[in-house]
Structure 1
Amino acid sequence: MHKYIIHPDTHSKLASQTEDCFLFEDKSKLRIHNGTPILFSIDSIFNEEDVIIARKTTQDSAHLDTSNIKNFIRRKLLPSLCNDFNIDKRYDELSTLLSERSIVLIIGVGEKAAYYKNKFSHCVVITSDVHNEFKPDYIFDGHYIPFSDNCFDMVLAAQVIEHTINPWKFCQELQRVTKIGGLLQIEAPQTFPYHAEPYDFFRFTYTGMRSLFPQCAVIHTEITEGNASMVAVTISNYLINTSSKRLIRSSWLFITRILLGWLKYLDKLQALPNRRTVSMPKGYAFTFKKDTVQRKPIELLNEFYELKR
């Protein structure tokens, strides 16, 4: 993928690399740290130094450590309050739309690099994030993607867009680097508690999400976790936050997981969006196809009326 790399600010092409930096045609350079290129724009809210000193930003790998008794109980013993039941089926279907050796960019890969590379095993999967907690292929800010125009067959950003401080610019970048005829898979919450603080900025309605991709046609939409999951998460969050004491908060976490964990199964009955179910779901998945048609806002809005009641 190095042939597609550009400087995130000057858009100068990559000229060469050494063990510790990328060198660009305009003589600028960006650092490689522990084998991972750090390609931040000077205007990004993230910076190279935070990566080098391993400062925690949007994620902390410690939450996966089940040798910690709290994590073990939370992750292994207690039922979840929500679940994306169709995620494997959704990605398997996406995989069939990609040809052999298609190039896929994962934005905000987190701890799921192995999962994505398995799902799209016939593709070249490029992983990225804004930190080095889980060793992505590249570290960069999605507002300033350091790749040239029209170079990816699919760009996937799951549970990322809510963490972008300027989602309009972020979505413009996603569309820029996707090939004409390529796919964009975007998944995000509409209703979910504040998290990954302070890097949590927006929530998206059905029409709000659609409006961010005017150069694309919608080929599939899905409710990932529905209204029942939203109810369970909201009640649990309310009760946990009635106290600042750890024991009380942990007790409410335990109680609400046990009492409300079953609600998510009701969402399996309503996976497809319609004018009732889009009222307050926990999250959406949109599959877009880039066609470069310049749609007017009213055209994007009118697509909502195509949803069945």
Structure 2
Amino acid sequence: MNMTIDSIFHPDTHSKLIEITETNYLFEDGATLPVHDGVPILFGSDSIFCADDIINNKATTQSSAYLNTSTAKNYIRRKLLPSLCADFNIEKRYHRLVELCPKNGKVLVVGAGEKIDYYKNLFKNCEVITSDVHNQFKPDYVFDGHFIPFVNNTFDIVLAAQVIEHTINPWKFCQELQRITKLSGVLQIEAPHNFPYHAEPYDFYRFTYTGMRSLFPGCEVLKAEITEGNASVVAITLSNYFVNLSSKKLIRSGLLFVTRILFGWLKYLDQRNVTPNRRTVSMPKGYAFTFKKDNIKRTSRELLKEFYTLKK
């Protein structure tokens, strides 16, 4: 799915897109940005990512190799071993999003990763635009979320799952998400509160309940959930501790195998605690916020007051 030509501008200058060729996007001010392997690469000059990495197929935040289950390591890790955490409510949460999207509405998925087909099938009655900062899984667009190349008030639904922790300036990223969302449109944001450092070096932040809320002052909270709770954090922390006792690959793999078996059951304790309260927000693995853009200007004090509406 591609955006109309009048919906796209240059991420640096906001110059209008005037022509699309097989190899370039040409803008009104004469600037060009490349199209590689059929995917537009729309990075601005201030981005920490660059088009050359995409053209040279350099893995940055994600590599498609980890999905290859033809290797023994990946097969065991992905197919045989139990996971240490699970988002048990994800399908229910996403189907609520589908219900909130008008027919033929526009959906933007930021950081779609390997789930491109999943999102397009989920929102099958909508126009779905997928994006990422790499081209490992062939999204519709490659761009940096700090400089989103789409005009204001474009999308009915904006979804960014496990992306915000990888943004070097989450304040700017969240401003961009709100800018491109239509008035009364919905933003679905999911992020970790406790999780090991990953996708290095592109892992920058963790978010508390109030921290996440404060990043979307022009939005109402429709729903907030704990995606994976305190028990998952215990399982992940114990496994990470034992695996990191050694630097030898064989020992680390063995410890990963053992700790997945020993601690993989703990995640099921989290099924009881999905709704955040002042007790459960202490150390969950992650949060999911469903925001509705209303453009009401909320002060920091007003945003913090919302915390006290949580049950004790």
TM value normalised by structure 2: 0.98
Matched, 1:292 2:291: no
Q: Aligned-pair distance for 1:247?
A: 1.2
Correspondence for 2:259: 256
Equivalent residue for 1:141, pick from 130, 144, 155: 144
- Whole-angstrom distance in 1 between the partners of 2:131 and 2:18: 21
Matched, 1:96 2:99: yes
Q: Output the amino acid matched with 1:84.
A: D
Q: Output the amino acid matched with 2:226.
A: I
Percent of paired sites with the same residue: 68
Alignment deviations for residues 72-121 of structure 1 (CA, whole Å, 9 cap, x no partner): 00000000000001111110111011111110000000000011111111
- Whole-angstrom distance in 1 between the partners of 2:93 and 2:8: 30
**Which consecutive segments of 4 or more residues in structure 1 shift more than 2 A?**
none
Q: Output the amino acid matched with 1:262.
A: W
Structure 1: runs of 5 or more not aligned: none
Q: Aligned-pair distance for 1:16?
A: 0.9
- Whole-angstrom distance in 2 between the partners of 1:225 and 1:34: 37
Correspondence for 1:79: 82
Equivalent residue for 1:175, pick from 174, 178, 191: 178
Q: Aligned-pair distance for 1:9?
A: 0.4
Correspondence for 1:201: 204
Alignment deviations for residues 245-289 of structure 1 (CA, whole Å, 9 cap, x no partner): 011111110011001010000000001100000000000000000
Correspondence for 1:158: 161
Alignment deviations for residues 207-251 of structure 1 (CA, whole Å, 9 cap, x no partner): 000000001000000000000000000110111011100111111
- Whole-angstrom distance in 1 between the partners of 2:32 and 2:270: 49
Specify the SS of the correspondent of 2:289.
strand
RMSD of the TM alignment (CA)? 0.6
Specify the SS of the correspondent of 1:278.
helix
Q: Output the amino acid matched with 2:292.
A: K
- Whole-angstrom distance in 1 between the partners of 2:267 and 2:121: 27
Alignment deviations for residues 13-67 of structure 1 (CA, whole Å, 9 cap, x no partner): 1101111001111111111011100000100000000000011100010000000
- State how many pairs are aligned: 309
Q: Output the amino acid matched with 1:126.
A: I
- Whole-angstrom distance in 2 between the partners of 1:254 and 1:214: 43
Equivalent residue for 2:239, pick from 236, 247, 250: 236
- Whole-angstrom distance in 2 between the partners of 1:171 and 1:138: 19
